[in-house]
Structures are given as C-alpha cells and as structure tokens.
Amino acid sequence: MGIFRKALWWGAMVGMHLGTMGWAHEPVFGLGPHTLYQYGLGVEFETQKIHDNWHPTMEILYGVTPNFSATLALPFQRPGKAFPPQPENLVLRGKYRFYKRDMPGASHQAALHGGVIVLPSNGAEGGNSAFPNVFMGLSVGRESRRHYGFVAVRMRWNRQGSATTPRGVLKLDAAYGIRPWLLTYRQPDPVFLVEINVVQRLTSHATAGPSGGRNRTHIFLSPALLFSYRNIMIKAGWKNPLFGGKENLPSDPTREIVLGVEIHFPPFR
Amino acid sequence: MDQRWVWILAWVFFLAGWVSTQENPSPGKRMILQIDGLSCSFCAYGLEKKLNKLEGVERLEVQLNEGKVILWLRPQSSLSREELVQKVKEAGFTLRNLKMETEGDSVAVTRHFRMQVEGIRCEACEKTMIEALSHLGCTREVQINRKHQEVSLICESGKMDAATLKQSLENIGFRVKAIEEKAMPKE
C-alpha cells in the first residue's frame, strides 16, 4: 500500500508539474512557446484526475518581459492524508521565447523552459534530501488564425531515484489545433486540439521496483478543447494511453483528465 | 399610471440612446495599426489593454480577422509611432505599419494589384492564399488564375502596399515574381 501511495504521489507530481503548463493557446498536456504580455498577470486554476484522484493546482503567471514569463505553481493537496496539510511543495518555472517571427495573422515561435520543483526538508514521506528536482524543455510552435501546431521535448531529472521514483522523465509532445470558426474579437473562441504525448520514465536497475527496472515508454493520444472569451480561457483535455500504461502497474501513468480555467489580468504598467 | 410608465420608458430609451451616442466620439483622428502575429482574442487581450492605457486614446477596436487595431484619438492626442511600437512589442506582437486618418474623410482611390505568383498548384493552395489575403483586408475581388499563375485583387488605398502583399504571400510558401500596382478611382 505504501508503494502504491508513493506511486500515486509521483504520478501526480510528474503529471502536474511536467504535464500542464498552460499559457494561452497551447497544448493542454504538452508545452507551447507562447509567453504572457509584459507586466501581465495571469491566474490558472486547474484540476487533474489521475488514478481516480483529483489534484487541484493554482498557478500564478507573470510576464517579466514580452519574451520571458515566470510561473509559481501551488498544489492544493496531496493524495492521501499521510502528509502535512500545508502546501508541501511549490514549483517555479520560467519560459524564455528566444525566437519569434510575426506575420499577418500568424506567428512562428520557439521557447526554452526551465524550472525547479521545491519540497520542504521535513516532509513525512522521507527521502526528501533528494529535492529540489529540476526540469528543462524546448518548444516550437506555429499559430495562425485557423491552425495551430506544436512540438516539444522536455526532461525532468530527479536527484535520487527509488523503487517508485524514476531517475528522470523524458517527454515528447506534438499537437495540432484548429479553430473551426473565425469569429471576431468579442466573440467566444473555441479551439480543438489533438495531442500525441510520449513519456519515457528512466529507471535504473539499481533502483528497480515493481516497474521492472527498465526504461518504460508510454504513448498517449489526447483530445482537448480550449474555449476562450476575451481574457478567460476554459480548457479541458483527456489523455488516453495508446501504448504502454495498460499493465496496471501502480507506477504506470494512466488515463488523465484535465479541467482548468486561466484568467489574464490587465498589465500593471 | 399607465401613462406614467410610458413616459418613464421613453426617458429610459432616450437616455440609453444618448449614452450610446456619447460612446461614439465626434469625427476625429483615428489611427489604423496593422499588427502581425494577431491570431487569437485571448492573446490580443494584453494588446487591447496596453493600447487603451495610452494617453490620447479614446477607444479602440481590435479586428482580429484583418489583423488590425483601430484607435480613435482625442483631438489633442500626440501619440508617437515609437510609443505604439513599444506597446505593441510589450504585448508580444509586431507593428507592421500604421496609418492616420481623419474620420469622415473618404479614401480617394483604390488600388488594383496584379501579381505573377509561383506555387499555385491546387485548390487548397488557392484557399490558403485567399485566407491569407483576408487577413490583410484585401479580399475584394480576389481572382486567382492557376493556369497562368496570376493573382489579381483590389485594395483600398493606404491599407496595402506591394511589399506587404508580397511578404504575406511569401510567408505562406508562394513566390511572387512580379507585382503590378495601379491606382483607380473609387466607385
């Protein structure tokens, strides 16, 4: 049971902090290169269902420059009640858009992502000396009035692997989106997305556990909807295992559902 | 009693009408910004707010499908191009060009463009081209001749120039070999 709980916890952690990084029209499970406008403030409330548990998070986004945004993510709770009730961890992320080419009604962009997952040193779970963990990523995208296309790669390094904790997680994502109706600025704006997400959990033989002590690859197909009206966006996504993840091992990623709302506020200056 | 309600309603409608009239400023200066990268309303929100905060801007309208923002300026406004470029950049977009107009002025001429374009191979290419042109506000009388690889269209004067037109088509994979531009009287 302990191992199962740990697996749930890590599944949630990996899913929440690597999986969902919402900024405007971007993949729900993948990454996108869009950054928030300078001095802009955004808040995102999101809940993700993994293994029958909902994991709500809140994210605060800030546009430091037109090409650099920072995010603070705070999970509301952990699965189970074996941990202290206060916010146990937080994630600091940054996104730097190093390439942007605008054209009428469209743009090409690329961005570097990086972040640190911070946990306290006195948690009840043990093994906390292994924190903080870090991740980095690269995303490339094309946005236009009608079509969206994104490709991203990212890697998370855990400082210490264990029976249920992979040493690292490598993710590859590709997404295509379409806006079926070209409506005006003050009309609701639905965009439909389909994503392919590849997840590889890197597990060493030395730390092998129930997952079999080998690198495990999972592929997901994830339809999603982004529905925005001016500065409010509602997002929903459903991540389905296509390959792997069906062995019912506790450490396997499984079907996930994401529901969220993102609100952008006027710039401070 | 009934009559009193009629009077009250009449006043309400009158006041509503008066307020809506007040929202439309009397004829004044307006600025038309052609902005690149405008693809969604959620992304354009920051741009709207940034431009709205500029001193001298009375109101604005974002035209997503045309890639334009129209600013209505107060008479004493002294907005500079640099300020606008800066604000558009901060919002994450690129200002392609801007044009000052006095509301009420009629545009004297329209322009007829005729282009020799390489790469129009199928119906889908034509659709892509028409869509790209629609973002520029140049959808009037677009004619594509696939056999002769020719495109002709009509634009209102000042809203388009040959270089912009060429760039927008080349951005979506066509090669513009020649452009012929002709001013013609507005109907």
pLDDT at B70: 92
Rounded mean pLDDT of chain A? 78
pLDDT band for A128, please (50, 70, 90 cuts): very low
Average pLDDT over residues A117-132: 47
pLDDT tens, A211-224?
445 667 889 999 99
pLDDT at A114: 93
Interface test mutation site (partner B, options A38, A150, A189, A193, max chain B beta carbons within 10 A): A38
State mean pLDDT over B17-46.
72
Q: Is the pLDDT of residue B79 over 80?
A: yes
Q: How confident is the model at residue B24 (pLDDT cuts 50, 70, 90)?
A: very low
The answer to whether residue B2 scores a pLDDT higher than 90 is no
* Residue-range definition of the domain harbouring residue A163: 2-265
CA dist., res. B51 & res. A166, Å (int): 48
A127 touches B at CB < 8 Å: no
User: Hey, are the CB atoms on B91 and A38 less than 8 Å from each other?
Assistant: yes
Residues in chain A within 8 Å Cβ distance of B164: 104
Residue A234's domain is classified under what CATH number?
Answer: 2.40.160.40
Q: How many domains does chain A have?
A: 1
The token duo for A11 is 């599944």
The total number of residues shown for chain B amounts to 187
Name the helix (H) or strand (E) containing A60. strand A53-65
Q: What is the mean pLDDT of residues B172-186?
A: 77
- Grouping H, G, I as helix, E, B as strand and the rest as coil, residue B43 is helix
Q: Inter-chain contact A105–B91, Cβ cutoff 8 Å?
A: no
pLDDT band at residue A109 under the 50/70/90 scheme: very high
pLDDT tens digits, A46-93: 888 877 777 788 889 999 999 999 999 887 655 554 433 333 467 888
Q: Which domains does chain B have, with CATH numbers?
A: 25-102 (3.30.70.100), 109-185 (3.30.70.100)
The answer to whether residue A105 neighbours chain B at the CB level (below 8 Å) is yes
Find chain B residues with C-beta within 8 A of A266's C-beta: 46, 49, 53
- Asked if A30 has any chain B CB less than 8 Å from its own CB, the reply is no
Q: What is the mean pLDDT of residues A232-258?
A: 79
Judge whether residue A207 has pLDDT over 80.
no
What H or E segment, with its residue span, contains residue A143? strand A133-144
Residue among B161, B153, B150, B146 at smallest CA distance from B113: B153
d(CA A7, CA B74): 62
Q: Which residue has the higher pLDDT, B184 or B74?
A: B74
Q: What are phi and psi of A258, to 5 degrees?
A: -125, 130
| pLDDT value at residue A222 | 95
The strand pairing partners of B135, in sequence order, are none
Pick A110 or B20 by higher pLDDT.
A110
Cβ atoms < 10 Å from Cβ of B172: 18
Q: Contact B40/A24, CB-based, under 8 Å? A: yes
If you average pLDDT over residues B62-81, what whole number do you get?
A: 87
pLDDT at A249: 61
Checking if the pLDDT of A100 tops 90, the result is: yes
Q: What angle do CA B156, B160, B163 make, to 5 degrees?
A: 150
Q: Is A126 on the interface with B (CB under 8 A)?
A: no
Chain B residue at shortest CA distance from A39: B90
* Maximum average pLDDT range among A106-110, A183-187, B3-7, B56-60: A106-110
Tokens of A178: 């379409």
Give residue A1's pLDDT.
Answer: 41
Token output for A83: 């941990």
Q: Find the CB nearest A37 among B40, B53, B90.
A: B90
Query: What percent of chain A clears pLDDT 90, i.e. is strictly above it?
Result: 43
Return the minimum-mean-pLDDT range out of A51-60, A96-105, B44-53. A51-60
Q: Is A178 on the interface with B (CB under 8 A)?
A: no
If interface means Cβ-Cβ distance under 8 Å, which residues of chain B face chain A?
A: 34, 36-50, 53, 61-65, 67, 89-94, 96, 131-132, 135-136, 164, 167-168, 171
**Nearest of B66, B63, B56 to residue B28 by alpha carbon:** B56
Residues 6+ apart with CB under 8 A from B92: A34, A35, A37, A38, A66, A67, A100, B37, B43, B46, B47
Confidence of residue B93 (pLDDT cuts 50, 70, 90): very high
Q: Distance (Å) from the C-alpha of residue B120 to the closest C-alpha of chain A?
A: 19
pLDDT value of position A226 = 95
Which residues in chain A have their CB less than 8 angstroms from residue B171's CB?
Answer: 103-104, 106
Of B41, B50, B164, the CB nearest to A267: B50
Chain A residues with CB inside 8 Å of B49's CB? 266-267
Token look-up 């264990």 returns: A162
Is residue B65 very low, low, confident or very high in pLDDT (cuts 50, 70, 90)?
Answer: confident
Q: pLDDT (tens digit, 9 = 90+) per residue, A151-162?
A: 999 998 876 655
Closest CB to A24 among B43, B47, B171: B43
pLDDT at B107: 43
Residue B137's pLDDT band, with cuts at 50, 70 and 90, is: low
